[in-house]
Amino acid sequence: MTEPAIGIHDLSLATTHYRLDLATLAHHLGTDPAKFHTGLGQDAMSVPAADEDIVTMAAAAARPIIDRHGADRIRTILFATETGVDQSKAAGLYVHGLLGLPSACRIVELKQACYSATAALQFATALVARDPTQQVLVLASDIAKYERGTAAEATQGAAAVAMLVTADPRLLRLEVPSGVFSADISDFWRPNYRSEAVVDGRASITAYQKATVEAWNDYRRHGGRDLSEFAAFCYHQPFTNMAYKAHRHLLESTGAAAGAADLDTALAAAAVYNRALGNSYSASAYLALASLLDHRDDLDQRPVAIISYGSGSVAEILSGVIVPGYRNHVRTAANTNAIDLREPIGYARYEELHDPELPDDGSHHELPAETSGPYRLAALTGHKRIYQPTGRPAGT
């Protein structure tokens, strides 16, 4: 009996109410905007409203999937994040309640810097392989935040993706094998007592490139495809030019060479959303996949690679084949609207949102209603987070 193909059946994204254009940041810093637009490959960053967080974004990303497919077969929710809201309770439980999902469901949160969504995807495929009648909802939601005035400030961002993993998927059939690599290094980390991450930018770029090559070598040792077979590459993008740096380094490690046009063919379509949203940590590589599917119509039956990296560090390379007719199931209009409808803000407002004064003593604190999304963080009280629907529709 032939085993069914397993992969991504549906893919939806969500982001924040606000955006900070990097030209605005450059003006505040007294620097040339080209440093960000050309040097980093970034145009803007998403900035959460006062009543937005990883839960509200994840629920907003998941709602259209539930509306389209229902929830009867979803028995697992895997929530990948490195900006969790609780050291004990999985953020997915809040989403489960907001979406009104069945109680017969297991819910787990996963963490390993920007890599954990790929771990969630692999765990999901194993669960579906065990019982192809079940479906798994994978959520990846993060807010990339650094200290203001640091070199990393321009690489902040926020977004979420929701992926429905099933047998006989409509978007992407995942392949075996994958390639993995891990090493204990300190290129990026956030201790429990800090709200902003600490990053050694130079070390992180070097670590990312090394991990990509090592994961690729492992992929090939286990019988993976040749580099030349792939129609496109979806890299984790702390900034979009990092994908270009990593891919050029990978090509050089295999003795291949590529000009600017070749790099754009492999990478440009997968960089559109990340360029506008900024870094979204665990969601980043799958925002790249959404961007690729929305911006290319020539991928039927063609293999693509997903290159996932999480500092500290873990990397994995996945390969998958795009399902014929995928363009009938993508969410291009909703994804574009979510990005285009963000409200631009000035530096002063961004500064207020970046450094909120929130109670840590359990006292009651209500959040101002700002988000245009379907869910909001309404209050903090008694050390509890209170979420509410806003009555506004999610993307479709």
Active site residues: 82, 114, 236
- Of the candidates 68, 142, 66, 127, the one whose C-alpha atom is nearest the C-alpha of residue 102 is 66
Phi and psi at residue 109, to the nearest 5°: -105, 140
Longest dimension (CA), the chain: 65
Q: Is 262 a known ligand-binding residue?
A: no
* C-alpha dist (Å) from residue 14 to 88, 150, 287, 334: 25, 27, 10, 9
Residues 6+ apart with CB under 8 A from 256: 227, 228
Q: Is 328 a known ligand-binding residue?
A: no
Structure tokens at 271: 């960089």
Residues 6+ apart with CB under 8 A from 309: 114, 115, 208, 211, 212, 235, 236, 246, 315
Secondary structure of residue 370 in the 3-state scheme: coil
The DSSP 8-state label assigned to residue 115 in this structure reads T
Q: Is 279 a known ligand-binding residue?
A: yes
Q: Is 10 a known ligand-binding residue?
A: no
Angle 345-50-195 from CA coordinates, rounded to 5°: 100
**Binding-site sequence positions for (3S)-3-hydroxy-3-methylglutaryl-CoA:** 32, 146, 245, 279
**Binding-site sequence positions:** 32, 146, 245, 279
